[in-house]
Structure 1
Amino acid sequence: MAATQDDIRGADFLHWSKKHYENFTVVSLLLPRRLRRPVRLLYAYCRYVDDLGDEAPGDRLARLDAFEQDLERCYGGTPRHPLLQTFQPVIVQYGLPRGELWALIEANRMDQVVRRYETFSDLVHYCRHSAMPVGRLFLKLLGYDDARRIQLSDATRTGLQLVNFLQDVGEDYEKGRIYLPGDDMARFGVSEEHIARRDATPEFRTLMQFEADRARALLYAGLPLAETVEGLARVDVRLFSYGGLAVLDALADARYDVFGRRVRVGKLRKAGLFLRAALWLLRSRRLPPWKGECR
């Protein structure tokens, strides 16, 4: 938690956020220059809140409560935390909704008290707080807030969150959490003991494939979002989806054994994803303009 203590000052969060997001430098260069700092600050906010919930010493609920109170000052006062002091002009300029910023704090509150999710619907409810707000806030920075884009973004962000859960089954268990639906575990004959033993049994692999298929379906459902975004930012949006799908492919290549080492996408494959997204952009520019809802 040392990197996120309150002695970090304003602009230092910009550098700090880069170190926490492997793809950030590449992705940010695709955004209009005016949006790079706001997007970086948004991700710094997201990461800081996550670290309060995952790594902060002492009473994490109390720290999350205090940060929420300081967030309120961004909407009619002067926040005390250096990150919020730096982020406040972005919140005001772009009209970032407090409900979405609050939801990210609430997700980390949930992590302190909810350790298991009985159904997939329960897990999606968690994603409404932990994942969907990130996409909605990103869209707001791009200037969009219509229902259709939000629906596509929600599918993408939920899919990405599920992918992250699948990557981190062992790590999350060490923190006392399981993000695999309990009824699915029972259906496929997977117990908590399997996870505790880090035992990738055939039953566990079948369960993981089932959950991966769910995540893949959501990512494919959200793919049209990039077609609704103007400029090079559409490549950025497309890469979010391609990245999640690439991790799912890597999980399949590993036969869903996530206990040996964390499944990642290598640099060569990342370069291929970028090229694929760039080629998609060139092809998409030959298509008629998108006729969906406008902001």
Structure 2
Amino acid sequence: MSEASTTHYALLGAPTEYLTPLERPGLEEAQAWCRDLATTHYENFRVATFFLPRKVRPHFESIYAYCRVAEDLGDESSDRLIATRLLDTWGAMLEECYDAPERSTHPVFVALRETIEACNPPRQLFLDLLHGFRMDRYKTKYESWEELLEYSHYSANPVGRLVLWVCRYKEESLALLSDNVCTGLRLANFWQDVVEDAERGRRYLPAESMLRFGVDEGQIVGRVFTPEFGAMMQDLVVRTRAMLLEGGALSLHVDRELKVVLDLALKGGEAILNGIERQDFDVLRGSPMVSKARTAGLLVEALAGKIRVGMAT
């Protein structure tokens, strides 16, 4: 590898733990790196993958690691140019992983190559995710429901499609159902985090909805709840709930182990929407957190489902 290309893929300016090592790690070492990143950065990921067959877990861990590093690279610097450069470098490393895998030295791409060889996921899904992370750098406010759907097309939906692909479900009809689930979950998180997002200079509440119901941005910043704001949130929750319900039909078409994971995700999204409804749609007083008891209940239900799957096989 030339000196220029080595520098190009060095991820200069990235967090130390994400820098490309000088020597290529072995597959087991690379997969262990991805597993550690997945299970130490996001507890729910460890829970979700527990319900999947052991043979596919490394693929989910490599995909998660790819997403986690990319998201952190995009958020690493307040300088948009630096963040964009890091994301572009990550994208070039992805292309190398597909086209010249013997040159990949970052543990994420050593591990991801095994996933590519075993499952042949479309490259475009990974590239779409990068586009979603780039959008986060230059777009902080959304004008319409359609703009939110476009954002989710890049930032959320590819993950669901990759999950299906790894599990050998390649039908576009199932991918479209998955899109509804992933977009619905993303929107549910937006609705519960209105205040937190506002503090970061972001607004995912569509401007068209604010105009329709007579809500202004000052209410969000000042946390001024009104009946009009409540009516707007109720409308957004109803639309999001319908999207999750439609996507939930995916459970009828996948194996029982994947169904357990899917149902857990759907119930988590429903729990968020129910929490918003329980506090009369007033998300300005704080995020409606899912109670520990409810979280434990979801996990118990999922575990029981896995046990039933084991007894039936």
TM-score scaled to structure 2, two decimals? 0.83
Normalized per residue, the structure richer in helix is 2
* Residues 157 and 182, structure 2, Cα contact 8 Å, conserved in 1: yes
Aligned to 2:276: 251
Is the Cα–Cα contact under 8 Å of residues 75 and 92 in structure 1 kept in the other structure?
no
Q: Deviations over 1:13-52 (max 9, x none)?
A: 3222223333222221211110112112212222222222
Quickly say closer, same or farther: Cα 1:237–1:3, change in 2 above 3 A: farther
CA distance in 2, matches of 1:60, 1:143: 34
Alpha-carbon distance change, 12 to 261 in structure 1, aligned in 2, over 3 angstroms: farther
- Structure with greater Cα Rg: 2
Query: Contact 1:251–1:257 at 8 Å: present in 2 too?
Result: yes
* Aligned mates of 1:165, 1:64 — CA distance in 2: 24
Change (3 A) 1:220 1:282: farther
Superposed CA offset, 1:114-165 (max 9, x none): 2222111111011110111010000001011102211110110010010111
User: 1:25 aligns to what?
Assistant: 46
- Contact 1:117 1:123 (8 Å CA) reproduced: yes
| Mapped contact 2:33–2:107 kept (Cα < 8 A) | no
CA–CA distance in structure 1, aligned partners of residues 228 and 218 of structure 2: 13
Cα distance in 2 for residues equivalent to 1:152 and 1:130: 16
Shift of 1:233: 1.9
Structure 1 counterpart of 2:6: none
Q: Secondary structure, in 3 states, of the residue corresponding to 2:223?
A: coil
Cα distance in 1 for residues equivalent to 2:43 and 2:269: 13
Aligned pairs for 1:140-155 (under 5 A) are 140-155=165-180
Residue of structure 2 aligned with 1:105, choices 96, 110, 130: 130
- 1:233 matched to which residue of 2? 258
Structure 2: distance between partners of 1:19 and 1:206: 39
Which of 58, 62, 67 is equivalent to 1:46? 67
- The percentage of counterpart residues that share the same residue type is 37
* Residues 1:196 and 2:209 are matched in the alignment: no
User: CA offset at residue 64 of structure 1?
Assistant: 0.8
Q: How do 1:163-202 residues align onto structure 2 when only pairs under 5 Å count?
A: 163-202=188-227
> Is 1:64 matched up with 2:87?
yes
When the two structures are aligned, how many residues end up with a matched partner? 285
Shift of 1:168: 1.7
- Counterpart AA for 2:54: R
The answer on 1:210 being equivalent to 2:235 is yes
Tell which deviates more after alignment, 45-54 or 154-163: 45-54
Selected match of 2:113 from 88, 91, 100: 88
CA contact (8 A) 1:41 1:87 kept: yes
Secondary structure of the structure 2 residue equivalent to 1:263: coil
Is the alpha carbon distance of 1:181 and 1:254 closer, same or farther for their aligned partners in structure 2, counting shifts above 3 Å?
Answer: same
CA distance in 2, matches of 1:242, 1:3: 37
Higher deviation after alignment, 82-91 or 270-279: 270-279
**Whole-angstrom distance in 2 between the partners of 1:200 and 1:81:** 48
Cα distance between partner residues in 1 of 2:230 and 2:64:
32
